[in-house]
Amino acid sequence: MSQYHSFTTDDAMRFADEHSELFGEHSKLSCEKLGEDSLNLVFRVSNDKGRSLIVKQALPYAYCVGESWPLTTDRARIEAEVLLKHSKYCPQHTVEVLHFDAEQAAILTEDLKEYRMLRTELVAAKAYPHLAEQLAAYLANTLYYTSDFVLTGPTKKQQVVRFMNADMCLITEDLYFTDPYCNHERNQIHPELRQAAQQLWHDEALQAEVAQLKADFLSKPQALLHGNLHSSSVFVNDDNCKVIAAGFGFYGPIGFDVGSLIGNFLLNYLAQVGLTADMTTRQAQQQYLLQQIDTLWQQFSQQFSSLMSNECREPALQNSLYQQRFMQQVWADTLGYAGCELIRRTVGLAHVADLDSISDSTVRGACEAKALQLGRDLIMQRHSLANMTQLMQLLHALSQR
Amino acid sequence: MSQYHSFTTDDAMRFADEHSELFGEHSKLSCEKLGEDSLNLVFRVSNDKGRSLIVKQALPYAYCVGESWPLTTDRARIEAEVLLKHSKYCPQHTVEVLHFDAEQAAILTEDLKEYRMLRTELVAAKAYPHLAEQLAAYLANTLYYTSDFVLTGPTKKQQVVRFMNADMCLITEDLYFTDPYCNHERNQIHPELRQAAQQLWHDEALQAEVAQLKADFLSKPQALLHGNLHSSSVFVNDDNCKVIAAGFGFYGPIGFDVGSLIGNFLLNYLAQVGLTADMTTRQAQQQYLLQQIDTLWQQFSQQFSSLMSNECREPALQNSLYQQRFMQQVWADTLGYAGCELIRRTVGLAHVADLDSISDSTVRGACEAKALQLGRDLIMQRHSLANMTQLMQLLHALSQR
């Protein structure tokens, strides 16, 4: 295969067979197209013994909805390389990349057939007891080992260049930090939310904080982020979870990845009111989600702190007072970016199934209003909420309103 | 000329003649080698009518003193491009680059024959009344127009890559932020200062702050810095000043350039006690320096603020509350990096003529001790010193000790 062309199912089969030993000789292969959006083609290639792999191909010069947003296929290289890098530091929770072809912008990965998409599971009020500790390990290891605590100045700079990812970052820069705070045509606002959304456009105190979070997103290359770590990028089963889809990966603020995940747990927490009719089940699920958020932060911060204490290779950053302040700053960023996720998922271009699945539009409107309120609180209070206990108190107060 | 070779005076003449119209035809050219350090060759090429140009060539794989510190000749490209970029936004105060040859790592610039090196002038207690306002204009324009306030995400990222400058940054990372705070063999410590220097090595509160300043130097690409803006990189005459020598240019924290300059004014301020015997002259010169520092910050911050108000092209950063906080943060960084400059110039590898010219070693030791003390104060109090008035009070208190 040489010059780029969109894969047919036959191409995907050939690609999978050529670049993996999994199928062996004399396998009968079949191929199913799993999805096609404006960005990527995804195929499942299987043999007659039940073994399968995934082929993902980036479409060239893809355009996002509603906007002429050109994206080069180089995002496939970045996705493959972020996953390989994260796999190096946390193989247990990163989808395995078996091959990457630059010419075809195609990635061959393991098939997570035994896993389900986290968002779907959370919408269905399913609970995975070890999820948070697994995600905490993923975050602590991938973010720590790609940071200034480990890499020398020159090595880090080389990595920053390799993962600059300007096209994909621009999408986040606009959708997260600009659109929801002005009357942008890309925004998708349910009629019930119109008034609350309009308040955002005139909320200068909030906009000043969001400006800071955007400036940090632009100019705070702390670690190699996944960059799009919401609950559709996480696959789960009873034993394990794995992270996929790292096409937005770049060097950014650590709190962005942590906050995106926590923001998604909070979205589901708020949506449970409209998703789960049975009161006992709903309360149990909300309790589960709060405990996951708590565990996620506690375990992440403990592991990251322990890595700073024990594995810091940069002499000037070995100071323990500095390291404590560093974690405190990651905490504030985490709350801020979680808040941005709540807001942009409620009034911005890309909504989440958690809220959109609520059939009663009044209930959905009430949940969305709480999401906006909580998002604002998190952003405005990110420096004053000292710890997880205070965050939990804030959530409790919100549920009483 | 093709493959790289170190220039002879003949090569430098030919290079200057080929790439400038200045000399015209039938000129008789002569060439003088102005300097040769471990990093660069510098030539002045003149014709018989008194016109002249400067040729600067980077030596390949140059090594810094005391350490095997390989530097590629790509730093010449970076130097040329930073100067061209800064010239675009502040031509009045940036040395003019006439030609750059990548193969030979050679730059042809105007000759600042009518100018003198600022450090030499300050050591001789000379005063240039318009210096600070000119430097403020240079800082405000070069830093503003290369920042996130103006450039789109993708354009900025492209520029960050172009000016990554890993080799040269590493020198600063080590010499500014690491060496002075440990017993490093590169440090140059006068015997009188030994005890005060040793205190730095055990000062964990200070080291925590310096860690933050180093982390920001590594991961806060706010604007295209000059990167080495001390008083030997500034040339002055009665009417004007021009900045040269941008080989350390890269995308970093804005306060680093501003703080380096202020740090150098402060070093000279402290050194005056040992440099200028006549009390009236000394006090006048110190008064002049304080007024320059005051004007530099006031004019820089006013101009930068006015640019943010009137020329911000990034919608999310147009918020005035955010812009006020941004300036406050640049102020804190400025004080911090000025403090680092005071300390590293006193106990680190590269000293300054201001202090080293003091012939009486006891007086010099006393001045150096004050430089360390002031450096520490600036770093530790950078968030609590709210404005220039409070900085002036700190300086006053120091002079009373």
Select the residue of A157, A218, A220 nearest B153 (Cβ to Cβ): A218
pLDDT at B71: 78
Listed residues B70, B95, B110: the one ending a domain: B110
Query: Does the structure show a pLDDT above 50 at A264?
Result: yes
Q: How does residue A69 score in pLDDT terms, banded at 50, 70 and 90?
A: low
Residues B306 and B362 both lie in one domain: yes
Quick check: A326 and B215 CB within 8 A? Answer: yes
> Which residues, at least 6 apart from A2, have a Cβ–Cβ distance to it below 8 Å?
A103
* Bridge partners (DSSP) listed for residue A57: A41, A106
A to B CB pairs, distance under 8 Å? 108
Listed residues B110, B143, B158: the one ending a domain: B110
Give domain status of residue A1, yes or no.
Answer: no
Residues B70 and B144 both lie in one domain: no
pLDDT in tens, A332-354: 999 999 999 999 999 999 999 99
B22 vs A272 pLDDT, higher one: A272
Distance in angstroms (rounded) separating the CA atoms of residues A292 and B43: 67
pLDDT in tens, A287-299: 999 999 999 999 9
Q: How does residue A26 score in pLDDT terms, banded at 50, 70 and 90?
A: confident
Residues B165 and B283 both lie in one domain: yes
Quick check: B212 and A154 CB within 8 A? Answer: no
State the amino acid at position A311 in one-letter form. Answer: E
* Bridge partners (DSSP) listed for residue A292: none
pLDDT at B64: 55
Q: How does residue A2 score in pLDDT terms, banded at 50, 70 and 90?
A: low
Distance in angstroms (rounded) separating the CA atoms of residues B213 and B329: 12
Supply the CATH number for residue A57's domain: 3.30.200.20
Residues B148 and B251 both lie in one domain: yes
Residues A324 and A295 both lie in one domain: yes
Of the candidates A322, A97, A311, A344, the one whose C-alpha atom is nearest the C-alpha of residue A210 is A344
* Residue A208 sits at the chain B interface (C-beta within 8 Å): yes
Q: Which residues of A touch B211 (CB under 8 A)?
A: 316-317, 319, 322
Supply the Cα-derived Rg of chain B in whole angstroms: 21
pLDDT in tens, A339-393: 999 999 999 999 999 999 999 999 999 999 999 999 999 999 999 998 999 999 9
pLDDT in tens, B26-52: 779 999 999 776 689 999 999 999 999
Quick check: A178 and B315 CB within 8 A? Answer: yes
Residues B70 and B130 both lie in one domain: no
Give domain status of residue B4, yes or no.
Answer: no
> Which residues, at least 6 apart from B19, have a Cβ–Cβ distance to it below 8 Å?
B98, B99, B101, B108
Residues B326 and B217 both lie in one domain: yes
Residues A218 and A163 both lie in one domain: yes
Listed residues B94, B110, B126: the one ending a domain: B110
pLDDT in tens, A168-220: 999 999 999 999 999 999 999 999 999 999 999 999 999 999 999 999 999 99
pLDDT at B38: 67
Quick check: A157 and B164 CB within 8 A? Answer: yes
Overall number of domains in chain B: 2
Q: How does residue A66 score in pLDDT terms, banded at 50, 70 and 90?
A: very low
Give domain status of residue A346, yes or no.
Answer: yes
Of the candidates A5, A74, A27, A215, the one whose C-alpha atom is nearest the C-alpha of residue B156 is A215
pLDDT in tens, B62-99: 655 445 566 788 999 999 999 999 999 999 999 999 99
Residues A127 and A104 both lie in one domain: no
Distance in angstroms (rounded) separating the CA atoms of residues B277 and B125: 11
pLDDT in tens, A207-260: 999 999 999 999 999 999 999 999 999 999 999 999 999 999 999 999 999 999
pLDDT in tens, B120-174: 999 999 999 999 999 999 999 999 999 999 999 999 999 999 999 999 999 999 9
Q: What chain A residue is nearest to B155 in terms of C-alpha separation?
A: A166
> Which residues, at least 6 apart from B251, have a Cβ–Cβ distance to it below 8 Å?
B146, B159, B160, B163, B164, B221, B222, B223, B224, B225
Quick check: B214 and A316 CB within 8 A? Answer: yes
Residues A97 and A194 both lie in one domain: no
Residues A267 and A384 both lie in one domain: yes
* Residue A173 sits at the chain B interface (C-beta within 8 Å): yes
Q: Which residues of B touch A222 (CB under 8 A)?
A: 219
Percent of chain A with pLDDT over 90: 90
Q: Is the dihedral of CA A279, A285, A288, A289 positive or negative?
A: negative
Tell me the CA distances in angstroms from A277 to A269, A272, A357, B68, B236, one per residue in order.
14, 8, 13, 69, 77
- Residue B294's SS3 state is helix
Most A CBs within 10 A among B158, B160, B206, hence the mutation to make, goes to B160
pTM given for the model: 0.96
Angle, helices A254-275 vs A279-311, to 10°: value is: 170
pLDDT at A54: 97
> Which residues, at least 6 apart from B120, have a Cβ–Cβ distance to it below 8 Å?
B353
Give domain status of residue B278, yes or no.
Answer: yes
Distance in angstroms (rounded) separating the CA atoms of residues A303 and A41: 37
pLDDT at B365: 97
Q: Which residues of A touch B322 (CB under 8 A)?
A: 207-209, 211-212, 215
Q: How does residue A71 score in pLDDT terms, banded at 50, 70 and 90?
A: confident
Supply the CATH number for residue A215's domain: 3.90.1200.10
Give domain status of residue A18, yes or no.
Answer: yes
Of the candidates A389, A346, A359, A126, the one whose C-alpha atom is nearest the C-alpha of residue A234 is A126
Which tokens go with A297?
């932060």
Distance in angstroms (rounded) separating the CA atoms of residues B370 and B377: 10
Quick check: A207 and B316 CB within 8 A? Answer: yes
Q: How does residue B24 score in pLDDT terms, banded at 50, 70 and 90?
A: confident
For residue A91, give its domain range. Answer: 9-110
Which tokens go with A387?
């710890």
* Residue A203 sits at the chain B interface (C-beta within 8 Å): no
- Residue A282's SS3 state is helix
Distance in angstroms (rounded) separating the CA atoms of residues B158 and B66: 35
Q: Do the beta carbons of residue A156 and residue A148 sit within 8 Å?
A: yes
Q: How does residue B400 score in pLDDT terms, banded at 50, 70 and 90?
A: confident
Of the candidates A16, A5, A39, the one whose C-alpha atom is nearest the C-alpha of residue A228 is A39
Give domain status of residue A17, yes or no.
Answer: yes
Give domain status of residue B197, yes or no.
Answer: yes
Mean pLDDT, all residues of chain A: 95
Element (H, E) at B205: helix B204-218
Residues A46 and A157 both lie in one domain: no
pLDDT at A72: 81
Distance in angstroms (rounded) separating the CA atoms of residues B265 and B284: 14
Query: Does the structure show a pLDDT above 70 at B307?
Result: yes
Give domain status of residue B2, yes or no.
Answer: no
pLDDT in tens, B224-257: 999 999 999 999 999 999 999 999 999 999 999 9
Of the candidates A229, A268, A248, A260, the one whose C-alpha atom is nearest the C-alpha of residue A352 is A268
